[in-house]
Chains A and B, each alone.
Chain A
Amino acid sequence: MTDEQKTREQLLTELAQLRQRIEESEAAETAARDARQYAENIVETVREPLVVLDADLRVISANPSFYRTFQVRSEESEGRLIYDLGNRQWDIPALRELLEEIIPQNTTFEDYEVEHDFASIGQKAMLLNARRIYVEASKTQMILLAIEDITERKRAREALAQEILDISTPVIQVWEGVVVAPLIGTLDSQRTERFMERLLERIVETRSRVALVDITGVATIDTQTAQHLIDTVTAVRLLGAQVMLTGVSPAIAVTLVHLGIDLSGLITRASLMAGLRLTMELLGLQMVTKNENVTSGSS
């Protein structure tokens, strides 16, 4: 009886322990499921296309953003080599280099820029971030590849640069036969070329005999820029007009002399005002202070 009772008690405690263990493992399982769901939700929510590859570079999974951006379906992607996706459009030499050479050596890689013309979605500029992950349980490697589509951003940046190029070289007619071209910032060959074109066109349009090129807004000048300016002056002379370089600051004057740039064939002035005054003189114009009223009032 006592034995039986003892066994019963033992069984009851074991049962309680078992129940507790089941509860614990269920809780653990829920926690694991929650964690996975949490991770999956993050991946799904991330706006950047993400793709997970196994060690052989086959697609394990990818997020909706990836499928949407690159117009491939999950069922035709999973388990396949990344290079084979979407009619082999991912077979990009730069990507091969990244996945096969850089990643095995470095574990992670950030902001690797790739440009590729996709058959389905056209020209894309992408920044690739990749990370090698070691999975303890299965003792395998995985590669997480995040793709940032920077096509729009790049296009916007280029458009902005173009805009700056366009607006930064205004040629203003300030008087009959006088144009002023203020230069701002640094002058590279491309900008100078555009500037030269605009200046020449405006001179012809306005029939201007004098063009004032004002470099007050130019911080520094180098040999190449000076050469561009000299070329511009030469071209303007061919049209039958004169160029005056105004706004030569002390710093620029020092630089020009130290660089040994000879601008002796060019009329230069320290300020736009001095340049305008000289222009008036060249054109036989005179500016007189209108003080007749003052004199007539006092007399």
Chain B
Amino acid sequence: MAAEGISVVKVREILLVTVPPDPDDATVSLLQEQVLKAMARYEAKGLILDISMVQTVDSFFPRTIAETAQMVTLMGGRTVVAGMGAGVAITTTELGLTLGGALTALDVDHALDMTDGLTPWEQSP
């Protein structure tokens, strides 16, 4: 059931993933797996994680996101986390967690602007 909840959409050179509301540990792990598979297949230069539907999180979620961002970086892409809600931001800060190397954006629009801007930066290393 969780597997159907996640779709990795390739838009030009970017992967777009919409995280379902209330993601449990299994869903988040599956998301990571799917994203990495897609990265390998398309050699995308960026990943946008749209988490605007996510209302509540535990400590596992931000940690896995940070981890995924790190893995995506290793595979040559940048990660942008888009649309985090105020509540989620507060929880994450209170838990003392960060998103590691992931960038943040207000929404997918903003994130696409950022990945556009990243192009030269991404291609140089």
Using a CB–CB distance below 8 Å, which chain A residues touch chain B?
Answer: 196-197, 200-201, 203-204, 207-209, 231-232, 234-241
Contact = CB atoms under 8 A, between A and B. Distances in A.
A235 B106 contact: no
Contact of B104 (A201, A204, A232, A239): A239
Task: Tell me which of B82, B92, B94, B104 has the highest count of chain A C-beta atoms within 10 A of its own C-beta.
Answer: B104
B106 A238 contact: no
Interface string B43-55: 0000000000000
Interface string B81-125: 111111011101110001100011111001100000000000000
Contact of B86 (A197, A208, A237, A240): A197
Classify the interface of chain A: helix, strand, loop or mixed.
helix
B107 A236 contact: no
Contacts of A241: 104, 106
Contact of A238 (B92, B107, B111): B92
Nearest to B92: A238
B85 A231 contact: no
Task: Tell me which of A200, A201, A208 has the highest count of chain B C-beta atoms within 10 A of its own C-beta.
Answer: A200
B19 to A, nearest CB: 14
A239 B105 CA distance: 6
Contacts of A201: 86
Given A203-B86, A241-B104, 9 more contacts: A197-B86, A201-B86, A204-B86, A207-B110, A209-B106, A209-B110, A234-B93, A240-B105, A240-B111
B93 A204 contact: no
A238 B99 contact: yes
Contact of A240 (B82, B92, B93, B98): B82
B71 to A, nearest CB: 20
A295 B107 CA distance: 43
Q: Which 10 A-B pairs have the closest CB atoms?
A: A200-B86, A240-B104, A240-B105, A235-B93, A235-B89, A238-B89, A240-B106, A201-B86, A234-B93, A239-B84
Nearest to A236: B89
A229 to B, nearest CB: 12
10 contacts: A197-B86, A197-B90, A201-B86, A203-B86, A232-B93, A238-B93, A239-B106, A240-B103, A240-B107, A240-B111
A196 B93 CA distance: 11
Classify the interface of chain B: helix, strand, loop or mixed.
mixed
Contact of B90 (A196, A203, A209): A196
B110 A204 contact: no
B84 A240 contact: yes
A234 B84 CA distance: 13
Nearest to B104: A240
Nearest to B106: A240
Contacts of B110: 207, 209, 240
Nearest to B82: A240
A239 B86 contact: yes
Task: Tell me which of A197, A204, A232 has the highest count of chain B C-beta atoms within 10 A of its own C-beta.
Answer: A204
Nearest to B52: A204
Contacts of B107: 207, 240
Nearest to B62: A238
A235 B98 CA distance: 9
Contacts of B83: 240
A15 B110 CA distance: 114
B106 A231 contact: no
B89 A200 contact: yes
Contacts of A237: 104
A207 B52 CA distance: 12
A204 B52 CA distance: 10
Given A207-B107, A240-B104, A240-B105, A234 B86 contact: no
A71 B77 CA distance: 75
A46 B88 CA distance: 56
